[in-house]
Amino acid sequence: MPLPQFKRILLKLSGEVLMGRQQFGLDPEFVTELAAEIKATKDTGLEICLVIGGGNIFRGVAGAAKGLDRTTGDYMGMLATVMNALAMQNALERLGVETRVQSAIPMASVCEPYIRRRAERHLQKGRIVIFAAGTGNPFFTTDTGAALRAAEMGCHALLKGTSVDGVYDSDPKKNPQANRFDTISYDKVLSDNLKVMDAAAVALCRENHIPIVVFSIREKGNLARVLAGEGVQTIVQEEV
């Protein structure tokens, strides 16, 4: 399904994607490949915001399941997203793309604090802005942080680059017969509890009329194909 022409998008990447061919942490070679794809997309004239998860380094929910206090675990996960944001900033700037990292948890020696008007100015100047540390609060995922920032920045779409090529009616890794949706409504995602993003993120996008485009970022060149309407993806939007 062809996508409309967007002027500003928020690209949400799962932290696991940054592992590339490794089992943990960051794969610098794969991060560089991702940065090149993001640069190519920006060169088409798009304004781009980025949010990157932290699951390749630490996941608060997993830590809580092993006895760690959930609040502490979530803050540790937020710090992991800052590490990923700095790695992506470095990769982008080595390609000549001006990039700013803004963190919801202030850490002045490392990056800027999140200030919406400053982020807006960066985008107007042609920079990529990476939003780190989620919402700055525990019990909220980076998906919710991405939806919040997309709404605040007036983004025309939220693109979720993950390990699967869309939204399925069941887990395609466990069920080979799972069916992929080309388009699906926010309400169906919520009522069927489909694991696209957490419910708060989907509801926030629904309230602000921000379509969610779910696609596989692991396929080289797929971001450009999806934006050109040629790739495989699922669009979560208002019921047509």
pTM to 2 decimal places: 0.94
59 part of a folded domain: yes
Domain that includes residue 133, residue range: 8-237
| Mean pLDDT value across the chain | 93
23 part of a folded domain: yes
Closest CA to 87 of 35, 13, 46: 35
Domain count, the chain: 1
Taking 80 as the threshold, does the pLDDT of residue 24 lie above it?
A: yes
CATH of the domain at 46: 3.40.1160.10
Q: Which of 62-71, 96-105, 195-204 has the lowest mean pLDDT?
A: 62-71
169 part of a folded domain: yes
192 part of a folded domain: yes
End-to-end CA distance of the chain: 14
1 part of a folded domain: no
pLDDT, tens only, 102-159: 999 999 999 999 999 999 999 999 999 999 999 999 999 999 999 999 999 999 999 9
Q: At 50, is the secondary structure helix, strand, or coil? A: strand
Instruction: Say which residues have a Cβ less than 8 Å from residue 136's Cβ, sequence separation at least 6.
Output: 78, 104, 105, 114
Residue-level pLDDT at 60: 67
pLDDT, tens only, 79-94: 999 999 999 999 999 9
Q: What percent of the chain has pLDDT over 90?
A: 80
| Distance between CA atoms of residues 135 and 125, nearest Å | 24
166 part of a folded domain: yes
Closest CA to 181 of 209, 157, 214: 214
2 part of a folded domain: no
187 part of a folded domain: yes
Structure tokens at 207: 């309230």
Q: Which of 65-74, 127-136, 187-196 has the lowest mean pLDDT?
A: 65-74
Closest CA to 137 of 204, 77, 51: 77
